[in-house]
Amino acid sequence: MDLVSLQNWLDNCAFAVLLVTMLAYWIGVSFPTLTWPGGVGTTGMAIANLAMATLLGARWIEAGYFPLSNLYESLFFLAWGVTAVHLLAERMTGSRWVGPFTATTALAIAAFATLSLPDTMQASAPLVPALKSNWLMMHVSVMMLSYSALLVGSLLAIAFLVVTRGQAVELRGSSVGTGSFRDRADRLRLAQQVNGATAIAPSTETGGVAVLEAPQTAAVALSPQRLTLADTLDNISYRIIGLGFPLLTIGIIAGGVWANEAWGSYWSWDPKETWALITWLVFAAYLHARITRGWQGRRPALLAAAGFVVVWVCYLGVNILGKGLHSYGWFF
């Protein structure tokens, strides 16, 4: 089998596997008693991930340069990144709520690349002079990995919003302020135990002196207060975005340094780089909203969910405008 037909087979395979995976995940959250969809979903994601990695590897061998030079390749790289970060996030949360959103996104990306792009845009083409640089690999791959992580982090925030819909949210998982401390209900439970202990204390001890020592009695059964599903989704969303943010920073800086080495300006307010900055600012606002007292819970999650749209505008929307330095590999 030659490389080109292998590639065709692999991209169809990735698409089909992701379709089954997505269905499995949605069945899993719709019928919580079933256990098989989780296993099918995780296996499917892993297979799709390997298929897309092989696809990109085959193109690397075929073209002789890192496969990130046109839209088709970058879409598959993004879908690969989303599945990879999904596997990480699912491992970290152990929750079946990660898959439905990430699998749908990965499928949509793969479907767009396989079905809507004309064949001429799927073929690999020689690099234009501006892209012939080692910085291409450094800048573009880091940017794509950051998009993957930020997308999955945003999807987890959306999952968090779905899981907690219609409920009052009291989170412990925020980074400063109320984080790491027992919530009100649990503190009340402990206090009642202490009061119970003091009620018994006078009868066993002699007199009221024991009341003063009551808070220190050993009668309190102290055990860890575990994180809830909402806590877990919220925190893993934060950690995954926390992973994507440094990658985005490094990717933007690599782009800036490349631009300065190639044409003498590390920042020129080109639409794509402006949108990368906008993405950076939105997620920076998210990271700060989390440590703002009284804002934990839905507000940062809404910001992260908005970040999902911003990443897409940055990745695809700017190319639709077809202007500026980054207008490679688009059909308009």
Which residues in 126-165 contact other proteins (CB under 8 A)? 126, 128-130, 132-133, 135
Binding of residue 180 to other proteins (CB under 8 A):
yes
- Which C-beta is closer to other proteins: that of 109 or that of 241? 241
Site for other proteins (CB under 8 A): which residue of 87, 210, 291, 302? 291
Per-residue mark of binding to other proteins, 90-109 (x: CB under 8 A): --xx----------------
Alpha-helical (H) ranges within 264-326 are 271-290, 298-312, 318-321
How many residues belong to the site for other proteins (CB under 8 A)? Answer: 72
Q: Is the dihedral of CA 145, 148, 151, 156 positive or negative?
A: negative
The burial of 73, by beta-carbon neighbours within 10 Å (0-12 exposed, 13-18 middle, 19 or more buried), is given as: buried
Site for other proteins in 247-276 (CB under 8 A): 249-250, 253, 256-257, 260-267, 269, 271, 274-275
Give dist(CA 10, CA 78) in Å, integer: 16
Report whether 252 contacts 280 (CB < 8 A).
Answer: yes
Site for other proteins (CB under 8 A): which residue of 13, 117, 289, 316? 289
Report whether 157 contacts 282 (CB < 8 A).
Answer: no
Report whether 75 contacts 15 (CB < 8 A).
Answer: no
- Which C-beta is closer to other proteins: that of 201 or that of 262? 262
**Which two three-digit tokens encode residue 165?**
């819909």
- Give which of 153, 42, 150, 157 is closest to 94, Cα–Cα: 42
- Which C-beta is closer to other proteins: that of 45 or that of 156? 156
Binding of residue 50 to other proteins (CB under 8 A):
no
CA distances (Å), 40 to each of 18, 47, 309, in order? Answer: 11, 10, 29
Binding of residue 88 to other proteins (CB under 8 A):
no
For residue 296, the minimal CB distance to other proteins (Å) is 12
- Which C-beta is closer to other proteins: that of 100 or that of 255? 255
Site for other proteins in 4-43 (CB under 8 A): none
For residue 198, the minimal CB distance to other proteins (Å) is 14
For residue 101, the minimal CB distance to other proteins (Å) is 18
Report whether 252 contacts 144 (CB < 8 A).
Answer: no
Site for other proteins (CB under 8 A): which residue of 27, 138, 190, 201? 190
Site for other proteins in 292-311 (CB under 8 A): 292
Site for other proteins in 214-253 (CB under 8 A): 215-218, 220-227, 231-232, 235-236, 238-239, 242-243, 245-246, 249-250, 253
Describe the crossing of helices 3-30 and 36-63 by its angle, rounded to 10 degrees. Answer: 160
For residue 210, the minimal CB distance to other proteins (Å) is 15
**DSSP 3-state assignment of 244?**
helix
Give dist(CA 41, CA 114) in Å, integer: 21
For residue 106, the minimal CB distance to other proteins (Å) is 23
